[in-house]
């Protein structure tokens, strides 16, 4: 549970609550948030909860292999992004266009560019802003407005919990009831036990309580090696200097040129492109061409549980996702269809004018026919290592 209202050593916090009261309120909010998260009656179809797309037993990611989870009034409307895991988001900084690392983390004078925020394009900053999106999106839970959600909350078995926590008159104004729900959801999403337990084999290894296999160890080295995977450059694998556990993301916005997913309905229109940070879902940075094609680097914790990979779910195996890094530039024909004129195609999900935004650092940046940065065996090693990032590791009995 997130204990955020504790006022240091003093027993009384700003809100006039004692520390015990603040703790009890946080626990009650968390329990309420869990109920709301799992409540399908809060959708227009009556069949879709947050948990339908963010399945608790699958690291809060989908438990099916569909790239896009259908939703909406009839359960058949589709958006165009893969549902991410909701774990380890507590570490995402608020979105900023100019991110500087702290003095002791790295070079504090380097502008790392746009970083942070929630969703693939960072357009929401807190869990409660974010939760508005699926509750109201026509292709997700599809409520017409806040009032429609408030009516459903008033009829829910936990309506009295909401009154107890937010006041007896909370249902008098739809906006208040709606905010109560999104607040409870965001508190729930900060529950350490469920959302950031740091209970993977790799965490046990860092704590000296587990040994990685030889293959996993090779994978870790390749993952970090700047001339090989160089994965750790963006998916940080090392403890921060304050000793905090690695998040396997620096939350930076990067374009890596993931292939177009032709299974997405919106992509039937050849003029439609999901450009990430410059739109269309994110609207405040529209016209910033330098941000087109950028998506937030996801944490790789629990990545082995995913059934589709990247913002558009274009790949369905972890091995392919890793192999893409190794051979995007050396063998583009493996990933991209040919152009209409028969020439070799590349970066088919980003209009030509934005392709200068695509990252070309290792393992990228080679030429067709060059030796890839990773051999097939090395790709397997990295995949084996990524398997150590799944929470719930139980050391074998001695």
Contacting positions for ligand HEC (CB under 6 A):
48, 50, 52-54, 69, 71, 79, 81, 83-84, 86, 89, 118-121, 127, 130-131, 134-135, 140-141, 185, 189, 229-231, 233-235, 254, 256, 258, 281, 295, 297-298, 300, 303, 306, 309-311, 318, 321-322, 325, 359, 363, 382
* Closest to ligand HEC by CB, 23 or 272: 272
* Closest to ligand HEC by CB, 118 or 245: 118
* Closest to ligand HEC by CB, 22 or 69: 69
Token representation of residue 165: 């926590």
* Closest to ligand HEC by CB, 22 or 153: 153
* Closest to ligand HEC by CB, 88 or 171: 88
Token representation of residue 98: 């100019």
CA distance 247 to 225: 18
Q: Tell me, rounded to whole angstroms, the distance of Cα 191 from its chain centroid.
A: 16
CA distance 218 to 38: 40
Minimum distance between the CB of residue 49 and ligand HEC, rounded to whole angstroms? Answer: 7
Q: What angle do CA 166, 167, 173 make, to 5 degrees?
A: 85
Question: What number of other Cβ atoms are within 10 A of residue 1's Cβ?
Answer: 17
Contacts of 334 (CB under 8 A, 6+ apart): 327
* Contact in structure between 320 and 77 (CB atoms under 8 Å): no
Q: What angle do CA 355, 357, 363 make, to 5 degrees?
A: 95
* Closest to ligand HEC by CB, 245 or 387: 387
* Closest to ligand HEC by CB, 231 or 264: 231
Contacts of 155 (CB under 8 A, 6+ apart): 41
Minimum distance between the CB of residue 51 and ligand HEC, rounded to whole angstroms? Answer: 8
Show the DSSP H helices in 212-361 as ranges. 214-224, 318-327
CA distance 118 to 136: 17
CA distance 54 to 87: 10
Residue 36 is given by DSSP the state H
* Closest to ligand HEC by CB, 6 or 66: 66
Residue 352 is given by DSSP the state G
Minimum distance between the CB of residue 125 and ligand HEC, rounded to whole angstroms? Answer: 10
* Closest to ligand HEC by CB, 306 or 346: 306
C-alpha pair distances (Å), 239 with each of 29, 246, 270, 324:
31, 5, 43, 27
Minimum distance between the CB of residue 18 and ligand HEC, rounded to whole angstroms? Answer: 30
C-alpha pair distances (Å), 125 with each of 136, 192, 211, 236, 249:
17, 19, 37, 21, 17
Minimum distance between the CB of residue 54 and ligand HEC, rounded to whole angstroms? Answer: 5
* Contact in structure between 80 and 274 (CB atoms under 8 Å): yes
* Closest to ligand HEC by CB, 22 or 131: 131
* Contact in structure between 355 and 294 (CB atoms under 8 Å): no
Q: What are the E-state strand segments in 116-261?
A: 253-254
Minimum distance between the CB of residue 163 and ligand HEC, rounded to whole angstroms? Answer: 20
């Amino acid at each position: 549970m997130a204990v955020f209202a504790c006022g240091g050593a003093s027993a009384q916090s700003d809100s006039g609550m004692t520390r015990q009261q603040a703790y009890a309120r946080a626990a009650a909010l968390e329990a309420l948030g869990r109920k709301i998260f799992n409540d399908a009656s809060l959708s227009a179809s009556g069949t879709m909860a947050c948990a339908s797309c963010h399945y608790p037993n699958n690291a809060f990611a989908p438990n099916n292999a569909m790239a896009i989870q259908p939703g909406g009034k009839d359960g058949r409307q589709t958006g165009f992004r893969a549902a991410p895991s909701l774990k380890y988001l507590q570490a995402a900084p608020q979105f900023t266009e100019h991110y500087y690392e702290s003095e002791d983390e790295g070079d504090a004078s380097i502008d790392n560019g746009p970083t942070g925020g929630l969703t693939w394009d960072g357009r929401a900053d807190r869990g409660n802003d974010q939760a508005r999106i699926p509750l109201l999106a026509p292709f997700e839970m599809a409520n017409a407005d806040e009032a429609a959600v408030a009516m459903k909350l008033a009829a829910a078995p936990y309506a009295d919990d909401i009154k107890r926590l937010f006041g007896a008159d909370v249902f008098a104004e739809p906006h208040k009831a709606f905010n109560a729900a999104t607040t409870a959801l965001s508190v729930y999403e900060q529950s350490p036990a469920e959302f950031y337990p740091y209970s993977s084999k790799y965490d046990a290894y860092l704590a000296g309580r587990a040994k990685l296999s030889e293959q996993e160890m090779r994978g870790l080295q390749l993952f970090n090696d700047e001339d090989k995977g160089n994965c750790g450059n963006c998916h940080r694998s090392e403890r921060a200097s304050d000793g905090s556990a690695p998040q396997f993301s620096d939350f930076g916005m990067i374009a890596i040129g993931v292939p177009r997913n032709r299974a997405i309905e919106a992509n039937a229109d050849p003029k439609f492109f999901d450009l990430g940070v410059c739109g269309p879902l994110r609207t405040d940075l529209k016209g910033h061409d330098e941000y087109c094609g950028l998506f937030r680097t996801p944490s790789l914790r629990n990545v082995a549980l995913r059934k589709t990979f990247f913002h558009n779910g274009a790949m369905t195996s972890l091995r392919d996702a890793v192999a893409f890094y190794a051979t995007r530039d050396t063998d583009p024909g493996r990933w991209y269809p040919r152009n209409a004129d028969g020439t070799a195609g590349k970066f088919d999900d980003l209009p030509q004018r934005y392709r200068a935004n695509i990252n070309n650092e290792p393992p990228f940046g080679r030429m067709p026919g060059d030796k890839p940065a990773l051999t097939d065996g090395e790709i397997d090693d990295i995949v084996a290592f990524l398997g150590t990032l799944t929470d719930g590791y139980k050391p074998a009995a001695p």
